[in-house]
Chains A and B, each alone.
Chain A
Amino acid sequence: MAAATTGVSALEIEHASVPGRLHDVSLRLEPGQLVALVGPNGSGKSTLLQVAAGLLAADGGRVAWAGRALKTVSFAERGQMAAWVPQEAVFEFGFSVRSVVGQGRFAHDDDDAGVDAVLNRLQLTALAHRPVNRLSGGERHRVLIGRALATEAKLQLWDEPLAALDVRHALEVLRLAHELKHAGHTVLMSLHDLRQAHAFDRVIVLQDGRLQAFGPPAEVLTPERLRDVFGVKARIAPGLSIELP
């Protein structure tokens, strides 16, 4: 909860609208925050992430990274400042795992720095020379997260990174997100598991393209809101708890 109230924001979105998908969303993330983006299917989570990543132009709105309006940031700098992980991990061509992770260094003149460490961190070293189009869905997603990590970008925007992963790898990725946060990165990821969102610094709730709530999880994920937005009944109860050994 180390939200700096002074200084520049890691990500600022002002009045972002995308016709039919996103309606006048404004928010501000601080450096070193781990933020969950939740909402029912079709609520605009992927759209918001793409707007935040500068991949989708918002109507009339403004997006800024580290205090700089996105319009003034060159393409190469964008590749250094923010990383985006798509929801779908589809590869037509058989690049090796290592070379796809290495693409994260494109905006750094392809210097290949830190690629082996990233492979190691995501337990991809054994797969390093395998073609990406022959991997399982979960493995492909880890490759994409690895590529995002290799950019060393301060702003990490991940679209449902956990959906395709088995329980252990999902927990590994969450731990990774926490480490990034402690290293001063800002991580924004969309999620479906509201229980996991509870461990984040901030939660953004989207519904029908509108920002329903934004704040600390205890304030945002109230039983009333969960019923209104997701149509579920929430209850704190002891159950099966899973964590990394």
Chain B
Amino acid sequence: MKPAWVTRGALPAAVILLVALVILSLGAGDLHLGLARIWAGLVRRDELAATILWQVRLPRVCVAMLIGGALGASGLVMQAYFRNSLASPGLLGVSSGGAAGAVVAIGAGWASLSLWVLPTAATIGAFVATGAVIGLARRGASTERLLLAGVALNAMLGAVVSYVLSNFTITYERNAQIIFWLLGGLEDRTWEHAAMAVAVLPCAALLWPLGRPMDLLSLGAAEAQSLGVDVRTLRRRLLVLSTVMTALATAVGGTVGFVGLVVPHVLRLLVGPEHRRLVPLSLVGGAAFVLACDLIGRAAGGLRLGIVTALVGGPYFLWLLRRQA
């Protein structure tokens, strides 16, 4: 049992941390902006600061928060759904599904047709991957089975990406676009990208009230049903929400790994397993984690987001595996 001040104070603390990180992110860059100048820029009293903030830094911060919240919450949902604290969009191949869908769309040249093609293609790819995972690893599957299914799926979807890269060599430009996109990053993110991912917010709102039934589901589907949960409906909702959120995050940021694994896990260690707390916390915490990783990457001279999250999350994951063994 965690002390009450930890469990109750966690969400306000996470929000404060997120706000601080937002301010840091807005200030940091080639031209450093202090608090006063950030304010002046936001209200457009300072021309230069306004241009930097509204054209470059603010969209980037918004995209980072949407990606982080989406991946953090997706990971939490998948862990409850599969009753396995090692499940996450990256390890299960859902992110790769989104990536494969997006790469096909870029490679075929559809992505330039409309703003909505990329997120739609990513969503379709992610749903294909989710369907495959559910087929391969039954609910409550052992960690080994789940992760092996993810390995197989990641490999197959990786092959799709390689095929597109090797086949659509018609234009050098498209290839470059795919590679740039695949690396996962927040460079040159515009308000268009934020608009693509804004559907994360209604998903989060729909997820919000599902925390309590998720508690029961995470301890067993049959048990949850006997206690009065409409398990079939709950599962369908959770699956759709987590898949869509992962797909949207992937569509705007490429594959960003380990967020969905690390964030819910750390939060569970901090405040315990109650999902009513974990749902809002993983949204806010995920956003803060991605912002922090982006700041680290920028401070390290332009390391891409996906590289930083992998460098932070990978060792954490290995440590977890070792501890579980």
- List residues of A whose CB falls within 8 A of some B CB: 50, 53-55, 75-80, 82-84, 86, 90-96, 99-100, 103-104, 106-107, 110, 129, 144, 147, 151
Q: Is the CB–CB distance between A75 and B1 below 8 Å?
A: no
Tally the A-B contacts, defined by beta carbons under 8 Å.
Answer: 74
Q: Are B227 and A95 in contact (CB under 8 A)?
A: no
Would you call B222 and A55 a contact (CB within 8 A)? yes
Interface pair A94/B272, CB less than 8 Å apart: yes
A79-B84 in contact (CB<8A): no
Interface of B is mostly: loop
Q: Which residue of B lies closest to A83 (CB)?
A: B226
A84 adjacent to B223 (CB under 8 Å): yes
| Interface flag for B268 (CB, 8 Å) | yes
Q: Is the CB of A93 within 8 A of B223?
A: no
Report 22 cross-chain contacts, Cβ distance below 8 Å, ordered by A residue.
A55-B225, A75-B225, A75-B229, A78-B225, A80-B228, A82-B226, A83-B226, A90-B220, A92-B84, A94-B268, A95-B272, A95-B273, A95-B274, A96-B1, A96-B272, A100-B219, A103-B219, A104-B227, A106-B228, A110-B212, A144-B223, A151-B227
Q: Which 4 A-B pairs have the closest CB atoms?
A: A79-B228, A107-B228, A129-B1, A93-B273
Q: Identify 12 new A-B residue pairs, CB closer than 8 A, beyond the known A76-B228, A83-B227.
A: A75-B229, A75-B230, A79-B226, A79-B228, A80-B228, A84-B223, A86-B223, A92-B84, A100-B219, A103-B227, A107-B228, A151-B227
Hey, which chain A residues are within 8 Å of B230, CB to CB?
75
Q: Is B218 an interface residue (CB 8 A)?
A: yes
Chain B interface residues (CB < 8 Å from chain A):
1, 83-85, 212-213, 215-216, 218-220, 222-223, 225-230, 268, 272-274
Least CB separation from A78: chain B residue? B228
Q: Which residues of B lie under 8 Å from residue A99 when comparing CB positions? A: 215, 274
Residue numbers in A under 8 Å from B213 (CB-CB):
106
Are A86 and B220 closer than 8 Å at their CB atoms? yes
Residues of A within 8 A of B273 (CB): 93-95
What's the Cα separation between A48 and B154 when bound, in Å?
Answer: 40
CB of B92 to closest CB in A, whole Å? 16
Report the nearest B residue to A76, measured CB to CB.
B228
The distance in angstroms between the C-alpha atoms of A96 and B273, with both chains bound, is 9
| Contacting pair B215 A103 (CB below 8 A) | yes
Contact B219 A93 (CB under 8 A): yes
Distance A103 CA – B220 CA, assembled complex (angstroms):
12
- CB nearest to A110 among chain B residues: B212
Task: Report B226 CB to chain A, min CB distance, Å.
Answer: 4
Q: Which residues of B contact A91 (CB under 8 A)?
A: 219
Cβ-closest chain A residue relative to B143: A92
User: For residue B85, which residues in chain A have a CB less than 8 angstroms away from its CB?
Assistant: 92-93
